[in-house]
């Protein structure tokens, strides 16, 4: 709590959180821990313990008092969060996870995750998402489980650095692998072929995307450099525009072709796992959205539809399973946003 500790001589004592300076008609509060400085007119009406003022509602001084109280509460919250993070840093990772699981059992996933967000408690965020993923995996909702696990993995990689968190990260990776194995085994009654080890494939897929993005970035820089150089040389601006537009169209075409290749690779991997389409089934895959228009980027969603020659349940079930497995593979790239707040 913020308090003022004044000696008989009127000097101020720093209580570690903030300190209050006072004279006949002015008070100033400075919070060094959050670099917050707020000043307000007190007119001799203030309480040094709670900063309560007996002022007329609606007055300027009353509004200042409300603001000061809000800022005081924010400092208390800041200190509490800092203390909680410090306490966690001295605990063993497994002990922390046990405490988080107890909180989940007591307050539920939503409240536990909301608290983790408010406190910037990244380990609790990751553990809650992993635990929720376990729940969906138990309900055989494989794509939701994969999305939750991958969100947790992104948090551990970006925010939890150090040997003490390796165990948590490894556990999440194993959960991600388990999703695909269980889906293929329990839903499709198949086994993933030895040459389709998920981790190695995912790394190769990420490398494919990284190389494509790097190539596109270099081409865009080259296009802009050529255009800017032409302007500096006072060349015909219309010709420069046309040249730039032509190169961008060519780049879009190249990106679209690469995305089609990437999608084809993923679909063939799925077919190696679940097998070929049923006998007599003919199909075609049609790109939608930016893929159809040829304006897709290396960061765009991939939209497509599958047309089959006959409306048979056997055919439809095959492609339902194929697209579910494909969805899991795309989620496991770790780039699929997952809305899990306020749900």
Minimal CA–CA distance to 260: which of 290, 238, 281, 282? 290
pLDDT at res. 30: 38
Residue 19 in contact with residue 31, Cβ under 8 Å?
A: no
CA 71 vs. chain centroid, Å, equals 29
pLDDT at res. 71: 62
What span, in angstroms and rounded, lies between the C-alpha atoms of 300 and 251? Answer: 15
Strands 304-308 and 5-6: unpaired
Minimal CA–CA distance to 204: which of 265, 122, 151? 265
Inter-axis angle of helices 93-107 and 109-118, to 10 degrees? 120
| Three-class DSSP category at 284 | strand
pLDDT at res. 218: 97
Minimal CA–CA distance to 197: which of 232, 217, 173? 173
- CA torsion through residues 93, 98, 102, 104, sign: positive
pLDDT at res. 42: 37
pLDDT at res. 77: 61
Minimal CA–CA distance to 281: which of 305, 304, 311? 311
pLDDT at res. 16: 39
pLDDT at res. 140: 92
pLDDT at res. 264: 95
* Phi–psi pair at 21, nearest 5 degrees: -100, 135
pLDDT at res. 223: 95
pLDDT averaged per 10 residues in sequence order, the chain, 343 residues = 40 40 38 37 38 50 63 59 49 68 80 87 89 92 92 88 77 89 87 67 88 96 93 88 94 96 94 92 95 94 94 95 93 75 41
306 forms beta bridges with 285
Q: Which two tokens stand for residue 136?
A: 């969906």
pLDDT at res. 69: 64
Query: DSSP letter string over 138-182?
Result: HTT-HHHHHHHHHHHHHHHHHH--SGGGHHHHHHHHHHHHHHHHH
């Amino acid at each position: 709590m913020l308090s003022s500790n004044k000696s008989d001589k009127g000097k101020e004592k720093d209580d570690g959180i903030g300190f209050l300076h006072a004279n006949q008609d002015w008070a100033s509060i400075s919070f060094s821990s959050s670099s917050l400085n707020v000043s307000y007119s007190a007119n001799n009406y203030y309480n040094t313990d709670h900063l309560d003022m007996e002022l007329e509602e609606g007055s300027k001084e009353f509004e200042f008092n409300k603001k000061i109280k809000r800022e005081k509460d924010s400092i208390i919250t800041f200190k509490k969060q800092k203390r909680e993070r410090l306490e966690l840093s001295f605990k063993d990772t497994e002990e922390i996870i046990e405490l988080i699981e107890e909180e989940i059992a007591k307050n539920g996933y939503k409240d536990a995750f909301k608290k983790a967000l408010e406190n910037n408690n990244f380990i609790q965020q990751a553990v809650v998402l992993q635990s929720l993923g376990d729940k969906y995996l138990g309900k055989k909702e494989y794509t939701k489980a994969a999305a939750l696990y991958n969100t947790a993995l992104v948090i551990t990689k970006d925010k939890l650095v150090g040997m003490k968190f390796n165990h948590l990260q490894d556990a999440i990776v194993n959960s991600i692998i388990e999703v695909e194995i269980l889906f293929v085994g329990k839903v499709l009654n198949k086994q993933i072929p030895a040459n389709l080890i998920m981790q190695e494939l995912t790394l190769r897929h990420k490398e494919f995307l990284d190389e494509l993005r790097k190539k596109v970035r270099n081409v865009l820089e080259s296009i802009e450099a050529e255009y800017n150089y032409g302007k500096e040389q006072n060349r015909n601006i219309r010709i420069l525009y046309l040249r730039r537009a032509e190169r961008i169209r060519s780049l879009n075409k190249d990106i679209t072709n690469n995305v089609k290749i990437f999608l084809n690779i993923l679909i063939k991997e799925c077919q190696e796992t679940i097998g070929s389409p049923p006998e007599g089934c003919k199909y075609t895959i049609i790109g939608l959205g930016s893929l159809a228009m040829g304006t897709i980027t290396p960061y765009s969603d991939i939209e497509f539809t599958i047309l089959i020659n006959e409306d048979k349940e056997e055919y439809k079930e095959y492609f339902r399973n194929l697209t579910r497995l494909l969805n899991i593979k795309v989620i496991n790239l770790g780039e699929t946003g997952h809305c899990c707040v306020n749900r």
